[in-house]
Structure 1
Amino acid sequence: MAASLIDELLLMRHDGDTVRAHPWLETLCIQASPEVIANVVTKDLAQIQVPTRQKWWARERWITRGRNEFALQWTVFGPRYGWKRAPIVVTGIADVTSVYHWPIGVPKGPIRNRLKRAVRGPIARKLFQGESLLVSESEALLDVFCRRTGYPRERTKTIPNAVNSAVLEAARRPGRDLSLAPRPMGVDYRLVYVARGYPHKNHEFLTQLHAELLLLGVSVEFVVTLSESEWAERTRQFRAVCKNVGVIPVSAVADLYFQCDAVIFPSLLESFSATPIEAMATNGRIFASDRPFVREVCGDTVTYIDPLNPQTAAVAIVDTMRDAEKLESMKERAMELAGRQVDAAARARAFVEVISAILDGNENERATTP
């Protein structure tokens, strides 16, 4: 999402009418990590600064030098660590693990990880509470955060996620960015799960699901996008039923979806993941967790599964994959809904409008520094 937003902002800076309407774009300072920059398509990279990597406790983050050097500071995804660099601070909130309680079905992990979450959660919520304005992709997440912390709901904004323009561009020229080997002999279907290896992404569910599908006479290969370290941490059983293509650039997402029979999304906790909407816009055949954060995005265009019940999920997948008419209907409805979603350019314009309204003094109540 951050790379997509940067792409759109850089394009806006080259549009005279947009700059005249929002003159602050001329002096906009963008700072991004190397990982984000790697997914930026626009080649105007001279206007992006790469800050030196620092741990959250690093002294450089907290020294007072440089405070209020800008009129407004926007952190796309918080929490924001360090001193405020502007009198007005707007921060994006998608940190589900600090907002929601730990989801049922997700292993809590070793004591070290539990202690880390126990310490980090309250700190993150406190940092979010200190911001002038919070922006989220999800109304539900903002509702939970405000109820849990008492943060004023009127000091929040919702700007929905969108399909990255790079994904749509790649979809118009398939096969250029990623190529999978042919489906192995004996494999009936290939399902893809685009997600990092966080515990709430529920990857190990795929191992159980594979076993249940075999009992129904169906062999599936799951394609995943894990880093080398995430892949190494997986069980031997998981690695036996999955093909890992590694962390892929945004430009390769469409190719990956096109080369798989369907998309699976068994996540247990999200704000507004890009995976379902990107899948709707490309593949169109999706099996997703029956959870509010999916229904909010996908409506009735996907086949819902219980991400904690591999038996019923397997039955739903087999019934759908064997019904060609249902599959085609799913794809048509998904792509139609995806076409009505906010696109990346519109999302960026919404960000720009929020900033301009604050700088123009039209949202003083919503952007009052606590």
Structure 2
Amino acid sequence: MRSILINASNLHVGGGVQVATSFITELSKLLKSQIKSCDISVLCSEKVYQNLPSDFDKNSFTQFDVLDINGVRQLSSKLKEKFNGFDVCFTIFGPLYFTPKVKIHICGFAQPWIAYPDNVAYQKLPFKEWLKNKIKFKIQSFFFHRFDQLIVEQKHVKDALGKLGYDSNDISVVSNCVSAIYDDKNQWRPLDFDSSKLTNDIILGFIGRPYSHKNIVILNQVNEILVSKFQMHCDFIFTFTEAEMQQCGFAANNNFFSVGEISATQCPAFYDLLDALVFPSLLECFSASPIEAMKMNTTVIASDYPFVREVCGDAAFYFNPLSAEEIATAIFNAFSNNKLREEKKRLGSQLVSALPTAKDRAISYLNIIKRSL
């Protein structure tokens, strides 16, 4: 019988953890309902394991181990052996900084800094950070070239990689989607946050980490413009650590709050707290945040870049993310026209309902793996 390894041991933060959690959960359900034609084992990080639902059954898999791999740190020979001997290894998102002894290694790709090396986000970095990133992503690109196949989340990423010399014949497209958690309220968990702290009528928020390309620091200026130009007082909510709030300069603003880092099961409660998701990112391959917000009937106000517009169409309000003035104006316009805002939410609901499901994505991944055999 053919053997397959699902590797999520290198995923510790952000959207990668959510995708891995969703895929492993859906895969366990599929294996229960099908006659096994392959032995499937899983290596996942502690963070992915913690985010798996309470009713998850790891006995669906031939073997299930929790193992943390961090960046370029070398594994011991004994730990590396856990990756060896499989017909196919699927690393859900890479890169993996060593080469397992497997026949076929498939890897998910979601690194926009590599796909779009001339991006505007580089222009905003101090020289030392610019140089550090250039070196880092050059190394990552080297390892991505070593995989037998890549899986990306949108066609524009496949096209971009093709222009950089990757073989398009070895790249498959599997769209991101909304996790099945959003359809199962029994799995939803409340936030550990006192909402009585919120004193303004409009609550805006961002979910994720404050990486430089997320362009989050600009919200300091946006807040000032909303008050001075539009007399609009809003509360801003984030999922940052205390250190990250300090790093962004948000701790000094009495209307900026954080619920702290949250699990996948708490995400619906976060979106439910918001009147609008504000998404000023400069660079993505694909972000699930806008479609998750739409699933929760939350207004989306986002960067007018293809990685958002190609997914959200007319269901979002858009702005130039390099201009705090334009971001503030987009927020003001969204809340000055309730009829239009409700119409966009209706469009968003229709859009999300037409997207592939988490089960569809799991089947697509599995089909790619089986074809490689």
TM-score by length of 1: 0.87
Matched, 1:128 2:144: yes
Contact 1:262–1:283 under 8 Å retained in 2? no
Displacement, 1:346?
0.6
Matched, 1:84 2:100: yes
Match of 1:152 among 151, 159, 167: 167
User: Partners of 2:263 and 2:217 in 1: how far apart?
Assistant: 24
User: Partners of 1:289 and 1:193 in 2: how far apart?
Assistant: 13
State the Cα RMSD in Å: 2.4
Inter-CA distance 162–314: structure 2 relative to 1 (3 Å threshold): same
Per-residue CA deviation, residues 161-198 of structure 1 (Å, 9 max, x unaligned), is: 0101113323x78774566513633x231011111111
Contact 2:236–2:256 under 8 Å retained in 1? yes
Q: Secondary structure at the match of 1:38?
A: helix
Q: Secondary structure at the match of 1:312?
A: helix
User: Partners of 1:66 and 1:49 in 2: how far apart?
Assistant: 9
User: Partners of 1:57 and 1:347 in 2: how far apart?
Assistant: 31
Matched, 1:108 2:125: yes
Match of 1:257 among 271, 281, 285: 271
User: Partners of 1:184 and 1:228 in 2: how far apart?
Assistant: 18
User: Partners of 1:238 and 1:93 in 2: how far apart?
Assistant: 37
- Give the letter aligned to residue 36 of structure 1: V
Match of 2:304 among 260, 266, 290: 290
Moved more, 302-311 or 95-104: 95-104
Per-residue CA deviation, residues 64-103 of structure 1 (Å, 9 max, x unaligned), is: 8567500001100011211223111101000122332263
User: Partners of 1:196 and 1:352 in 2: how far apart?
Assistant: 29
Displacement, 1:130?
1.4
- Give the letter aligned to residue 29 of structure 1: S
Aligned residues: 349
Displacement, 1:305?
1.2
Partner of 2:341: 327
User: Partners of 1:6 and 1:67 in 2: how far apart?
Assistant: 17
Contact 1:189–1:220 under 8 Å retained in 2? yes
Match of 1:140 among 156, 181, 184: 156
Inter-CA distance 65–322: structure 2 relative to 1 (3 Å threshold): closer
Inter-CA distance 63–255: structure 2 relative to 1 (3 Å threshold): closer
Identity of aligned residues (%): 27
Partner of 1:211: 224
Partner of 1:6: 24
Contact 1:183–1:190 under 8 Å retained in 2? no
Inter-CA distance 163–181: structure 2 relative to 1 (3 Å threshold): same
Q: Which structure 2 residue ranges, 5 or more long, are not aligned?
A: 1-18
Displacement, 1:52?
4.7
User: Partners of 2:197 and 2:68 in 1: how far apart?
Assistant: 43
Displacement, 1:237?
6.5
Q: Secondary structure at the match of 1:19?
A: coil
User: Partners of 1:35 and 1:289 in 2: how far apart?
Assistant: 29
Q: Which structure 1 residue ranges, 5 or more long, are not aligned?
A: 360-370
Displacement, 1:240?
4.0
User: Partners of 1:258 and 1:65 in 2: how far apart?
Assistant: 44
Aligned pairs for 1:225-236 within 5 A: 225-235=239-249
Displacement, 1:291?
0.4
After the TM superposition, which segments of 4 or more aligned residues of structure 1 sit over 6 Å from their partners? 61-64, 172-175
TM-score by length of 2: 0.86
Contact 1:132–1:155 under 8 Å retained in 2? yes
- Give the letter aligned to residue 43 of structure 1: F
Contact 2:250–2:256 under 8 Å retained in 1? no
Inter-CA distance 45–180: structure 2 relative to 1 (3 Å threshold): farther
